[in-house]
Structure formats: C-alpha cells, structure tokens
Amino acid sequence: MADVTNSIDLFKNALWGEVKASRFYQLASELTQNDEARMLFLSMIDTEDGHAHDLVHQAGQATLGAKFDAAGWLKEVEANVAIVMTPEEEKTVRDGTLRDVLQMAINFENQARDNYLSLRESLTDETLRRQCLELAQQEDAHQRTLVQLMDSLAMDPEDRPGL
C-alpha cells in the first residue's frame, strides 16, 4: 500500500508541476516584451497541457484508477490555477527581467524532469517507466531551449540563433 500511496503522490506532484508550468508560460507569454520568448512560451503551454493529459492516461495504466482519480484531480488543480504560483513567483513573472523569467522556467523544467524520474523509479511496469523517461527527456530538451534563449540575450538580435 505504501508503494501505491507513493505512486499517487508522485503522480499528483507531476500533475501539479505541469499545471503550474502551463500557468507560468501563459503569464510569461502575456507579459514578455520579447517576441521570440513569447512564441516559445506559447508553444510551451500546449506542451505542458499535453504532458498533464499524458500523466492522467498513465495513472490509469498504472492500475491506480480505483485508488486515484487522476482526471478529477487534474480538473481540480486546473480550477484552482490561481493558487498554483506563489505570490513571489507571480511577481517575478510580472516585474522581473526576461532573464529572471527564463531562469524560473529553467527551474520548472528541471523540477519536472526530476518529478518524472522519481515517478519512473516508483513504477514496475516497463512501458510506464519508458514513458516517464521519455517525458523526462522532453523536459531536458525544454530546459536546453530555454538556456539557449537566455544565452542569446547577450547577443545582438541579428546574431541570435533561431529557436
């Protein structure tokens, strides 16, 4: 039972992280003055939402369905999205520099990767373990894209590599 409880907690944590990241990218896309960053943030919203729905599907495959209503829990979190970000995080998104916002996004992506790797360790089904590893790798790719964008801030706009 402890393994099931641990898996449920890890699924909840991963779902929370995806909703939080989606909300973060929504706010960041609305507030940034950088068009390149805005386009990246907008694309990340759909990606994070997709991850959340993938997790709901995985929770059902992990035979947690009778013990954990992942779809219901996701709806509850999404309905309370205003409390997903701390006031300090929202202030950074609203008032921080683009570098501050990108650093926060990098931190979210690293946390999401770690959530997937922890969830992977709690599962015994090899298909689910592989899916968690794939999601962790996607989060790493997001992190690298964000680091590339942050590094490009020091360059003249015409010298920046395309994302």
pLDDT bucket at 114, cuts 50 / 70 / 90? very high
Give, as one character, the DSSP assignment of residue 142: H
Q: What is the DSSP secondary-structure string of 76-108?
A: HHHHTGGGTS-HHHHHHHHHS-HHHHHHHHHHH
What pTM was estimated for this model as a whole?
Answer: 0.76
Mean pLDDT, rounded, for 100-108:
89
Residue 140 vs residue 152, higher pLDDT: 140
Tell me how far apart the alpha carbons of residues 8 and 96 are, in angstroms, rounded to a whole number: 35
The single residue listed with the structure tokens 């942050």 is 150
- Ranked by mean pLDDT, the top range of 29-38, 63-72, 127-136 is 127-136
Tell me how far apart the alpha carbons of residues 59 and 54 are, in angstroms, rounded to a whole number: 9
- Tell whether the model's pLDDT for residue 163 goes beyond 50: no
CATH 3.40.50.150 fits 2-156, yes or no: no
Tell me how far apart the alpha carbons of residues 122 and 106 are, in angstroms, rounded to a whole number: 25
Q: What is the pLDDT of residues 11-63, one digit of tens each?
A: 888 888 888 888 888 888 888 777 877 888 898 899 889 989 988 888 777 66
Q: What is the pLDDT of residue 1?
A: 47
Residue 138 vs residue 66, higher pLDDT: 138
Domain boundaries of the chain, sorted by first residue: 2-156
- Tell whether the model's pLDDT for residue 161 goes beyond 70: no
* pLDDT mean across residues, the chain: 82
Of 47, 68, 43, the closest CA to residue 57 belongs to 68
